Amino acid sequence: MRCLVVMPTYNERDNLAALLPKILADPRFHVLVVDDSSPDGTADLVTEIAEAYPGRVFLLSRPRKLGLGTAYIAGFRWALARDYDLVCEMDADFSHDPETLPRLVEAAQDADLVLGSRYVPGGGTVNWSPLRRFISKGGSTYARLILGVRYRDLTGGFKCFRRRVLESLDLDAIQSTGYAFQIELTYRAHRAGFRIAEVPILFEERRAGQSKMSVDIVLEALVRVWQLRLEGALPPLSAWGPFLIGRFSRSR
């Protein structure tokens, strides 16, 4: 299967110099870097690396910083126009281990969407503060309760899609960014009836550069989850009964 890894970037030159060769060591993978005019020369570096890996590394340059969600949507459209069978999402800062990519692809043999999950057995986080761990895990739990889904890690950005999932989604309707973008993609795939699996991953704090996390991203996720619920696609609150009763009973 032809597999494309889509990586949005903004000032990730230092990380990409080491990350891209590790991904490309596996001949199955091509990489599309979606760069929002990084002032650190990220695009120039990608162009240099593309010359060393002809036909396997591509650059999609955008005129300014337009956000994570729109970068992924642009990458998805690029992939669909070029007949890739699998499309992976991956951060460009080494927080997602490139050695885990083959496991996501293997799991996609039996699933339509594979989530790299920090919160299933075998998964976890490395070098995170207790506050960040609380925000991330709490965000996933919050979204699971509101949306009524069972997936443990809804806010993660390490995923592998079969082509048919992206073809079926209304990409124009997805306006979220950050955590909310990841939640919305998985939820819409779930509502469309696709098979979704979770593969354990270790998520490590970025090696270089600055985190893109902000209060606005967290607030957007809190609001967007309710907007998705109020679209009318969610089962009634009574469907949560067995789940809530089970949680309450275990806490006694």
Mean pLDDT to the nearest integer, 112-134: 93
Confidence of residue 137 (pLDDT cuts 50, 70, 90): confident
Q: How confident is the model at residue 25 (pLDDT cuts 50, 70, 90)?
A: very high
For residue 53, name the pLDDT band (cuts at 50, 70, 90).
Answer: very high
> Which is more confidently placed, 247 or 182?
182
Q: Are 229 and 147 in contact (CB under 8 A)?
A: yes
CA distances from 49 to 6, 7, 21, 55, 108 (A): 16, 15, 8, 11, 28
Query: In whole angstroms, what is the distance from residue 7 CA to residue 68 CA?
Result: 10
Q: 162-210 pLDDT, tens per residue? A: 999 999 999 999 988 777 899 999 999 999 999 999 999 999 875 554 5
Paired with 138 in beta bridges are none
Is the per-residue pLDDT at 237 higher than 50? no
241 has a pLDDT exceeding 70: no
Q: What is the pLDDT, as a whole number, of residue 45?
A: 98
Domains of the chain: 3-251 (3.90.550.10)
pLDDT for residue 94: 92
* Contacts of 106 by beta carbon, 8 Å cutoff, 6+ apart: none
Higher pLDDT, 170 or 247: 170
pTM of the model: 0.85
- The pLDDT value recorded for residue 52 is 97
pLDDT at 133: 87
Averaged over 55-63, what is the pLDDT?
A: 97
Mean pLDDT of 90-110: 96
Q: How far is the C-alpha of 144 from the C-alpha of 67, rounded, in Å?
A: 24
Query: What is the Cα–Cα distance from 224 to 208, expressed in whole angstroms?
Result: 30
Beta strands in the chain (DSSP E): 3-9, 29-35, 57-61, 86-89, 113-117, 124-126, 159-162, 196-200, 202-204
What pLDDT shows up at residue 214?
55
**What is the pLDDT at residue 242?**
52
Per-residue pLDDT at 215: 66
Residue 8 above 80 pLDDT?
yes
User: Of residues 239 and 161, which shows the higher confidence score?
Assistant: 161
